[in-house]
């Protein structure tokens, strides 16, 4: 029984690391990394700073999806974030990934 639990946990860990890698690749392919970085401000805030700002907010994912798809102004300073050409599913994947950067 312990072996089965261990194997399941190992598989889940591998799947999650693959998902994280896929999300990082998605962020790169959608040019998110042109204005953001994981751990430092570029033109826009660091993804870790975004995750910290929205930590514990129940509507955090929805807010980020809206910012990603529609753009935003003034949330992080005077530089506006333009709307991005991503699908709703891609925006949700990116939002979840950004919120996981802690």
With beta carbons less than 8 A apart as the criterion, state whether 15 and 82 touch.
Answer: no
Residue 72 forms beta bridges with which residues?
81
Mean pLDDT of 53-65: 97
With beta carbons less than 8 A apart as the criterion, state whether 89 and 15 touch.
Answer: no
Mean pLDDT of 37-45: 96
Residue 81: what are its φ and ψ, rounded to 5°? -95, 120
Detail the DSSP E strand segments found in the chain.
none
SS3 35: coil
Would you say the pTM of this structure is higher than 0.85? Answer: no
Instruction: Give the domains, in start order, of the chain with CATH numbers.
Output: 2-99 (1.10.760.10)
pLDDT of residue 69: 97
The pLDDT > 90 percentage for the chain reads: 75
pLDDT of residue 14: 39
Report DSSP state, residue 82.
P
């Amino acid at each position: 029984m312990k072996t089965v639990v261990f194997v399941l946990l190992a598989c889940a860990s591998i799947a999650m690391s693959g998902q994280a890698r896929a999300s990082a690749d998605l962020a790169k392919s959608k040019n998110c990394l042109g204005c953001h970085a994981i751990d430092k401000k570029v033109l826009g805030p660091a993804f870790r700073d975004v995750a910290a700002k929205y930590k514990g907010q129940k509507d955090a994912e929805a807010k980020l999806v809206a910012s990603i798809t529609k753009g935003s102004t003034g949330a992080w300073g005077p530089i506006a974030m333009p709307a991005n050409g991503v699908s709703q599913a891609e925006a949700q994947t990116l939002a979840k990934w950004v919120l996981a950067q802690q």
